[in-house]
Amino acid sequence: MYAILDIETTGGKYDEEGITEIAIYKYDGQKVVDQFSSLINPLKEIQPFVEKLTGINSKMLRSAPKFYEVAKRIVELTEDCILVAHNAAFDYRILQTEFRRLGFPFERKSICTVALSQKLLPNEPAYSLGKLVRNLGIPFSDQHRAHGDAKVTLKLFELLLEKDVHKTILKEHINTKNPNRVPSKYLTLIDKLPSDMGVYYLHNSENEIIYIGKSNNIKKRVLSHLTGTQRKSIAIQSELSHVTFSLTGGELVTLLKEQNEIKSNAPKFNRAMRFRIFPMGIRIDTTEPYPKLIIEQVKVDTKYISVFKSQKAAKTVLFRWAENFGICLHKTSLSKSDTACFNHGIQKCEGACVRKESPESYQEKIQILLKDLSYPHATFLILEKGKKEGESSFVYVEDNVFRGYGYHELNHQIKSQRQIESRLIPMENNPDAQKLIRSFLRRKKYKKLIPLSFNITI
């Protein structure tokens, strides 16, 4: 027996959505034997984009039943059924969240018609519900309303059942009763976590930090640790006792804080990041008249013009620099030949490889490259949003050295270096931090970039 399901929600932060409409068709494999469809009063505001998408507004929901008033009907209708939905993980999670708020465990097996369609209809150009059913010639009305979407999901499921002649794929796609299940001892912990950006810390029973992570939605990310089935997730679950967190506000502050605290605490499940995020670097060897760009594993107390996650990534960038700045490939660790390089043959290298180009001219190219890689100013602030309304976060670079980050209230101006210093949370100026700052600046995701001469107002 199957329960074909669709849910519309208020939208909003992960795990804080409310149901605005639900439709369920109980299907025995041949015909619909029972059904239920209703608007639901979520007791919270609907996001404007959701209202526009579904046509459901707050006025329509004022007299609708609350979820607890229809919960018994949903339990009875889905009992001993396999839930079927298009993107079943979403609908199932929303139902579990609502029942959890009522203190009731809701566990069902489920089938996702997206995954099933991808197996049984591998040549379809798209698998969103609307595009898929229209390509299949299935009539679709009342799109983005629960009753309309559930009805067309039922028609799609009927087709998929017919396609699955041997019934083997269908069996493979029946998920366990509770793929999103969070152990009951963690439910209170999860409910207390925010759906905001920040860094979180997973602790064991001895209060040791076993993992540090970042996310723009802390609750969602921690949930993924508690429901994951990969070896690392299972290992974390076996040791996890409690979770703490620190809200950060801005993306760059979050990235910098995470890498800094992983290095400071060396959690056992952050092995890959304990020492550095970007383990490969490119440095300049100036021992010869023609400077040479060397790719190598990052060493302590060695200066690198850029760092990378892998040797492959470093090589890709080095080839791009050769193309864009006229760098000779034979003057890099990519080649050991004394003959003319390939780029010289296609007139993209001026001949440093065969000493046609003067050392001074080639050194100038390296300087142009370094200027392109440098910060936009020697001393500056990067402003992002803060942890709360009326606050801004800042990242401070002084004389090309990353100093740290801080926060200030928008109605209090920072006018001096002393005021910056007083608010500053110091951090190490390591290659990882430099790379994160440069990458962030390149994407221009900051609110404001302020060059400093210490006559400043922000």
pLDDT of res. 177: 60
Q: Is the pLDDT of residue 458 over 60?
A: no
Tell me the mean pLDDT in the region 334-341.
80
State the CB neighbour count (10 A cutoff) for residue 362: 23
Q: Is the pLDDT of residue 291 over 90?
A: yes
Residue spans per domain, the chain: 2-172, 184-273, 280-373, 380-451
pLDDT of res. 383: 94
Q: Is the pLDDT of residue 188 over 60?
A: yes
pLDDT of res. 429: 92
Tell me the mean pLDDT in the region 210-218.
94
pLDDT of res. 323: 87
Query: Per-residue pLDDT tens for 64-103?
Result: 999 999 999 999 999 989 999 999 989 999 999 899 889 8
| Res. 226 pLDDT band, cuts 50 70 90 | confident
Per the prediction, the chain carries an average pLDDT of 89
Q: Are the beta carbons of 115 and 86 closer than 8 angstroms?
A: no
Lowest mean pLDDT among 34-43, 156-165, 427-436: 156-165
pLDDT of res. 310: 92
Q: Is the pLDDT of residue 456 over 60?
A: no
State what percent of residues in the chain have pLDDT above 70: 95
Q: Which two tokens stand for residue 413?
A: 């101006």
pLDDT of res. 455: 53
Phi first, then psi: give them for residue 156, nearest 5 degrees.
-65, -45
Q: Are the beta carbons of 293 and 318 closer than 8 angstroms?
A: yes
Lowest mean pLDDT among 212-226, 297-311, 326-340: 326-340
Instruction: Give the C-alpha separation, 239 to 258, whole Å.
Output: 21
Tell me the mean pLDDT in the region 405-424.
81
Q: Which two tokens stand for residue 452?
A: 């400093």
Computed on alpha carbons and rounded to an integer, the radius of gyration of the chain in Å comes to 29
Beta-strand runs (E) in 128-218? 198-203, 209-215
Q: Are the beta carbons of 32 and 50 closer than 8 angstroms?
A: no
Give the single-character DSSP code of 190: H
Which residue has 């939905």 as its token pair?
85
State what percent of residues in the chain have pLDDT above 90: 57
pLDDT of res. 38: 95
Q: Which two tokens stand for residue 391?
A: 């606050």
pLDDT of res. 175: 67
Phi first, then psi: give them for residue 213, nearest 5 degrees.
-140, 170
pLDDT of res. 247: 93
**Cα 238 to the chain's mean position, in Å?**
25
pLDDT of res. 114: 93
- Fold adopted by 184-273: GIY-YIG endonuclease (3.40.1440)
pLDDT of res. 339: 80
Give the single-character DSSP code of 5: E
Query: Per-residue pLDDT tens for 384-397?
Result: 999 988 889 999 99
Lowest mean pLDDT among 196-210, 238-252, 268-282, 375-389: 268-282
Q: Are the beta carbons of 98 and 129 closer than 8 angstroms?
A: no
Q: Is the pLDDT of residue 280 over 70?
A: yes
- Fold adopted by 2-172: Nucleotidyltransferase; domain 5 (3.30.420)
pLDDT of res. 413: 66
pLDDT of res. 180: 60
Q: Is the pLDDT of residue 296 over 90?
A: yes
Q: Is the pLDDT of residue 176 over 90?
A: no
Q: How far is CA 56 from CA 20, 50, 149, in A?
A: 8, 8, 14
Tell me the mean pLDDT in the region 7-28.
91
Angle 273-277-281 from CA coordinates, rounded to 5°: 140
Query: Per-residue pLDDT tens for 132-146?
Result: 999 898 988 888 899
